[in-house]
Chains A and B, each alone.
Chain A
Amino acid sequence: MKLLKYAMFSTIALACFACSSDDESGLKNDMIKKTTAPAIVGEKIEFAYAMGTTEGRLAKAEATASFAGATGTDFELYSWFTARGDISVNGVNYRGGDEVPLQTVKDASTSGATSVANMMETVDTHYFNPSVAVGTSQSELIAATLRYNYVVPAEAKGKSFHITFTATSTTGSKVTYETPSYPVSKMDMKRLIELENGAACCFSLEDMAAYTTAEAASMGNKIDFIYNYQKKTDDGFDYGHSFVSPATDPKFIALSGIIPSGASNDTPMEQRAQVHDAQLKGANPAVYVDDVDFETLDLSRASNYVLNLKNDDGVFMKSADGKYAAFVYVNRIDDSGKVTISLKRYPLK
Chain B
Amino acid sequence: MKSIYRIVMFLAVCLLSQGCNDYPVDDNDLLITDSEECYISSFILRGPDNRDVLASYNIDDEANTITGVAKFGTNLKNVKPQCGVAKDCIVTPNMGEWTDFSQPRQYTVISGNRKVKKTYTITVTVQGE
Contacts and interface: CB of A to CB of B under 8 A. Distances in A.
B105 interface: no
Contact of B128 (A237, A308, A313): A237
Contacts of A252: 73
A307 B71 CA distance: 10
A303 B71 contact: no
B56 to A, nearest CB: 13
B51 A273 contact: yes
Interface of A: 233, 235, 237-239, 251-252, 270-274, 301-303, 305, 307-308, 313
A207 B128 CA distance: 35
Nearest to B51: A273
Interface string B44-67: 000111110000000000000000
Query: Which of B47, B75, B127 has the most chain A CB atoms closer than 10 A to its own CB?
Result: B75
Contact of A237 (B71, B78, B98, B100): B71
A308 B52 CA distance: 13
A251 B129 CA distance: 10
B79 to A, nearest CB: 10
A272 B48 contact: yes
Query: Which of B72, B75, B78 has the most chain A CB atoms closer than 10 A to its own CB?
Result: B72
B50 A273 contact: yes
Interface residues of B, number: 15
Contacts of B87: none
A233 to B, nearest CB: 6
Contacts of A233: 72, 128
Given A235-B128, A237-B127, A237-B128, A271 B49 contact: yes
Interface in B85-104: 98, 100
B118 interface: no
Nearest to A314: B49
Given A238-B72, A273-B50, A301-B98, 18 more contacts: A237-B73, A237-B127, A237-B128, A238-B71, A239-B73, A252-B73, A270-B49, A273-B49, A273-B51, A274-B50, A301-B77, A301-B78, A302-B75, A303-B73, A303-B75, A303-B77, A308-B71, A313-B49
Contacts of A274: 49-50
A273 B46 CA distance: 12
B71 A270 contact: no
Nearest to A274: B50
Contacts of A238: 71-72
A301 B47 CA distance: 12
Nearest to A232: B72
Contacts of A237: 71-73, 127-128
Contacts of B128: 233, 235, 237, 251
A271 B72 contact: no
Interface string B36-50: 000000000001111
Nearest to B73: A307
Contacts of B127: 237
Contacts of B100: 301
Contacts of A302: 48, 75, 78
Contact of B72 (A273, A303, A307): A307
B112 to A, nearest CB: 34
A307 B74 CA distance: 9
